Amino acid sequence: MYVVSVINYKGGVGKTTVTANLGAELANRGMKVLLIDLDPQASLTFGFYDPDDWRERLRDSRTVKRWYDGLRGGQPTVTLGELVVSPGPANSRLSGAGRLDLIASHLQLVDIDLALARSVAGGEEYDAELFRVRGSLAEGLLADGLDPYDLVLIDCPPNFNVVTQSAIIASDHLVIPAKADYLSTLGIDYLHGNVRELVDQYNADARRFATVRRHQKVAPDVAGVVFTMIQLLSRQPIATHQSYMDQVRNLGLPVFPTPLRENVTLYATNTPRGVPVVLRDRVTVPAVRDELRRLATEFLEHLQPERHPR
C-alpha cells in the first residue's frame, strides 16, 4: 500500500483537483484507492457528495473528525475502516475491478487540530504525547478494520498543524501542487525544509518513545511538484510561468513533466455530480482530461519504477 499526501501551504493551487482526479484515474486503471479529506474546507468531500447528503448521512458519524476526536482520549473510538464510504456516481464510471473510496472531512476539523495541539502543549510528557499524535494516522492505516488498498491519497489542509503532520508521517510520498508564481515557489522550498525537520525529529523521538522495538524509520520523499493553472501559448507554458517552473527545478525537487492548464469553467463544473473530470465521457476541452491521465502515468512511474521503465 502506498500512502501519498497532497500538500501545499498555499490554498487555491489545485490540491483537491489533483487528489480527486489522480485517485479516480488510478481507480479506473484497476487500483483500489482510498481518498482521505483532512481539509476542514471539505472541498474533496463536497466534490463527491452534495452538502445536504453530507449533513444527512456523514456529518454526525462518518467523517475523519470522529476518528481524531478519539485521539484526545488516548485511543480512537472508531477505526478508519468504519468511516469509509464509496461515492456511487464516481464508482459507476470505473472500468475493471478498481474502486474509489473516501473518508470524508468535517467543517469542524479545524477545531480538532487546535484541541490536539492544546492537549499536547498542556501535557506533562510533551515530547511523548506529540510523538503519539504525529504517528496516529500511520497506525490507523495499518490497524484492523481497514480494507487493503493499493493507494491512499490524503488531501491535506494548507497549514503545518498537527493533523497535517500526522499525514506526512503516515506517507511514503508527497505530491506538491503549485501555481507558477512567486509565493508558490517560495513556499515549496519552505515546506520541503519543514518536512525534513519534522521527519528528522520524529525519527529521533522514535528511539525514545516507540513501543515497537524495531520502529520503522519514516522517510517520505517528494514524488514531484505538479504545476497547475498554467497558461499556454503555442501549447507551451507562457514565459513567466516557465521561469517559475525552472526555479523549482533548480531547487533540486522533481517536477512532473505534465503541467495542468488553467480551465476554471471545466474544473468548477460538477456535472455529472460527483464525477471527477478525468472520468467524464464528454468534456469541453479534451486536452484537460488528457493532461490528468498523463499525470497519473507519471505518478505511477515514480511509485513503481520497476514496472514503468523510462
- Which tens digits make up the pLDDT trace of 177-227? 999 998 888 889 899 999 999 999 999 999 888 776 556 789 999 999 999
Predicted pLDDT at 256: 96
Distance (Å, rounded) from C-alpha 123 to C-alpha 120?
5
Q: What percent of the chain is modeled with pLDDT above 90? A: 63
Mean pLDDT, the chain, integer: 89
Strand partners, 33: 100, 151
Taking a C-beta distance cutoff of 8 angstroms, is the pair 162, 11 a contact?
A: no
Predicted pLDDT at 135: 93
Cell of 71: 485521539
Q: b or e along 175-210 (b: 16 or more beta carbons within 10 Å of the residue's beta carbon)?
A: bbbbbbeeebbebbeebbeebeebbeebbebbeebb
Pairing assessment for the beta strands 236-237 and 232-233 based on DSSP bridges: antiparallel
The string of pLDDT tens digits covering residues 141-161 is 998 888 889 999 999 999 999
Q: What domains lie within the chain, and their CATH numbers?
A: 2-303 (3.40.50.300)
Taking a C-beta distance cutoff of 8 angstroms, is the pair 6, 157 a contact?
A: no
Dihedral of alpha carbons 236, 242, 248, 252, sign: positive
pLDDT of residue 78 exceeding 60, the answer is yes
Mutual orientation of helices 109-122 and 64-71 as an angle, nearest 10°?
A: 10
Predicted pLDDT at 147: 84
* Distance from the first to the final alpha carbon of the chain: 23
DSSP code of residue 96: T
Question: Under 8 Å CB-to-CB from 244, ≥6 apart: which residues?
Answer: 180, 181, 182, 184, 185
The string of pLDDT tens digits covering residues 25-64 is 999 999 999 999 999 999 999 999 999 999 999 999 999 9
pLDDT of residue 310 exceeding 60, the answer is no
The string of pLDDT tens digits covering residues 267-299 is 777 668 899 999 998 887 889 999 999 999 999
Residue 12 banded pLDDT, cuts 50, 70, 90? confident
Secondary structure E strands in the chain: 2-6, 32-37, 99-103, 151-155, 173-179, 221-228, 232-233, 236-237
Predicted pLDDT at 232: 84
Predicted pLDDT at 74: 65
Distance (Å, rounded) from C-alpha 66 to C-alpha 80?
9
Burial of 80 (0-12, 13-18, 19+ CB in 10 A): buried
The string of pLDDT tens digits covering residues 97-136 is 899 999 999 999 888 877 877 777 665 578 888 898 999 9
Predicted pLDDT at 57: 93
